[in-house]
Structures are given as C-alpha cells and as structure tokens.
Amino acid sequence: VPFKRDGRLDAEGVAFYYEHYFNDCWSLGTSFFFMHVNARQEFCLDASCSFPSIGTRQDFFKLKEELHDVLGVTPPLFSRTAFSDIDLFACYTKRWDYLCKFRSITARTKCGIIIPTAPAFCIDNPASVAIGGNKHFGVYFDLMGDFEVKEDWYFSLWGRAIKRLPHDEYRRIPAKLEPSRYGAVQGLISINPGWTFMVSPSVTFEGLREGLGARAAFTFVKHRADEACDRRKDKTAAINLDQLRGNRSSWGQEYVSLTAFYDFAKFQECRSYLPTLSLSWDIPVQWKVSERSSKTNSVSLMVEVDF
C-alpha cells in the first residue's frame, strides 16, 4: 500500500567562526555551532488508495502502529540540543585590484578536517536527525572566488569537495526492501560514504539603501554512492545491504536561495559590534540532479556579529 511521508524540521542555534590571519594570505580557523532541533514525520495514504469506509482506513493505521511496536520503532517525533562537529581549516587568500575589468578579484582556497563531536542519530526514532556527520571524520577542499563588478555589486562562485571517512555504525539494517530507518535487523555495519560535491554561484548587491542588501544564489549538491559491509559477528539473520549502498545511497539536491540583509555597520567608521540581520528563503528545484532528497522549503533568520 503506497504511503506518503510528510514532515517538518525546526532548528535554532548559535554558530561560532574564528579565523586568525598570519599575513595578507595565510590563515587558520575553526567553526562549530550549538543547535536545538525539532523534527516530526507524518504518514498519509496516497490519493490512489481507496477504502470502503473510514473505519477500514483507521484499522489500517492501527495496524501500521502495531507493526512499528513489533520493530521497536518509537513515534516519529524528535527533539535534541547538541554540539556540532568541529571544523578546523587552513586558508590561502589572494586579492587583485582592477584586474580584467573588475574592481577587485579575491580568490580563496581552503583545506579542512571535520572532527565528529556531534551525536549520532537515534536508530529507533525514524525522525532522528544527525546534527553532524554521524560520527564520521571528514576532509574537504574549497575553492572560492569573489568578483566585484562595480562598487557593492559582486558575483561569487564557491565549490567544495568533501569526503567522510569509513566508520563502523550500529544501526538498523533492512531485511528485504523496507526503508533503512525501519530495518527489521540491528547490527554493526561499516559505512564508507561517497564523495559529496557542492557548487554555488551567487550575486550580491550591497548598499541598496544604506545598509540594505540582497543576494540570490543557486546551490547544487551531489552525493556519490556509499559502500556498506556487514560487520556482524552473528550473521544468521539475512539482510539486504543494497538498501544502504549503490544507487540507493546516492542523492542530489538543488535549491535557489533568496536573501535580504541589513548591515547596521555598513557606513560606520567603527563597526562597534553592530550586527548584520538577514532573512533567507531556500526553494528546492528539480533541474538537473535532484533525487532521493527532501523537497523542503526552508526559511531562516540570522543575526551575525563580527568581533
């Protein structure tokens, strides 16, 4: 019977970013955040399903709940406050003024490691969210370019390649074709995540009216297939690792981001810790690679303060 699974995710947090410059080019830095997350999932029958009565429909949902009890799955409601993974990076920055008809060009390369300090997701809660990389160490490489077309008008291009390292996870494993979060078997599995590639071009207009500005960006994310290996000592129960690896573990996501912001220190000689307030709307699109990823609109409000 076809089910549709809707949901909602709310998050609030505080992010910290520190970068120390040794000269005009080289710097070291770190970033991390604290976050509170609320998530829920809701099941509803597909419109193609037809039942002779409301009672039959209610009996069907009751049967679903009984099946979840047999599997040991809790109701899909999740709440957690946690510390994120820690990002440590080294960066090289180079700036050129009045080059190739641009007012300025800034190129930036960054290499970093990700330390998995965030908690893993809860295997018995289908709505559980991994705030970090689910205990996988990671390495990444960034390339960034900012092109100042005219005063306060910028075109930017950012790209990232990230690799999470192999790690043994105790988790639910599908016995047949059920979703992995509802796997009937539990055991130790070695997961080797695939590469993730991200590209994001954007245009930014600052000083539209005093500190008011706007930004539009398109973000493309592609995650390659994972590898999974059975590490259980007792392999009596049959499992289907194809649900955790290969094409079923790859995914793609695309979204357009529209942001309005106000920099209270834009025209101040001394910033005096004045904040930048921004409101963003992320709109999912399906143009090239979107597959097996949530199609959720996201609205975020951010207050940024530089020290």
pTM comes to: 0.88
Question: What confidence tier does 190 reach under pLDDT thresholds 50, 70, 90?
Answer: very high
Span 98-107, pLDDT tens digits: 998 899 999 9
Among residues 130, 226, 224, the alpha carbon closest in space to that of 181 is found at: 130
Going by C-beta distance under 8 Å and a sequence separation of 6 or more, which residues neighbour residue 133?
85, 114, 116, 118, 164
Strands 86-99 and 26-45: antiparallel
> Is the separation of the CB atoms in 64 and 112 below 8 Å?
no
Dist CA 184 CA 163 (whole Å): 29
What is residue 202's predicted lDDT score, i.e. its pLDDT? Answer: 97
- pLDDT at position 108 is 97
* pLDDT mean over 2-19: 87
pLDDT at 51 over 70: no
68 band by pLDDT with thresholds 50, 70 and 90: confident
Q: Is the pLDDT of residue 47 over 90?
A: no
Higher pLDDT, residue 211 or 164: 164
Max distance between CA atoms of the chain, in angstroms, equals: 74
The pLDDT of 65-77, averaged and rounded, is: 85
> Going by C-beta distance under 8 Å and a sequence separation of 6 or more, which residues neighbour residue 48?
2
Q: Give the Cα separation of 167 and 139 in Å (integer).
A: 14
User: Which structural domain range is residue 77 located in?
Assistant: 3-305
Q: What is the pLDDT of residue 64?
A: 78
Is there a contact between 217 and 260 (Cβ–Cβ < 8 Å)? no
What percentage of the chain has pLDDT greater than the value 90? 62
Q: Could you tell me which residue, 127 or 44, shows the higher pLDDT?
A: 127
- pLDDT-based confidence at 209, cuts 50/70/90? confident
Domains in the chain: how many in total? Answer: 1
**Least confident interval from 6-20, 37-51, 132-146, 199-213:** 37-51
- Per-residue pLDDT at 206: 93
pLDDT in tens, 260-299: 999 988 877 766 678 999 999 999 998 888 888 888 899 9
Confidence band for 242, pLDDT divided at 50, 70 and 90: confident
User: What is the mean pLDDT of the segment spanning 241-260?
Assistant: 90
pLDDT at 222 over 60: yes
Alpha-carbon distance 286 to 221, whole Å?
A: 12
Question: pLDDT tens digit string along 82-93?
Answer: 999 999 999 999
AA letter at 150: K
| Most confident by average pLDDT, 50-54, 216-220, 285-289 | 216-220
What 8-state DSSP symbol labels residue 291? B
Distance CA(227)–CA(244), nearest Å, equals 8
CA 154, chain centre distance (Å): 25
For residue 69, the cross-strand partners are none
For the chain, the average pLDDT equals 90
pLDDT at 54 over 80: no
User: How far apart (Å, rounded) are the C-alpha atoms in residues 29 and 27?
Assistant: 7
Supply φ then ψ for residue 214, to 5 degrees.
-145, 150
Q: How far is CA 65 from CA 71, 136, 139, in A?
A: 10, 32, 41
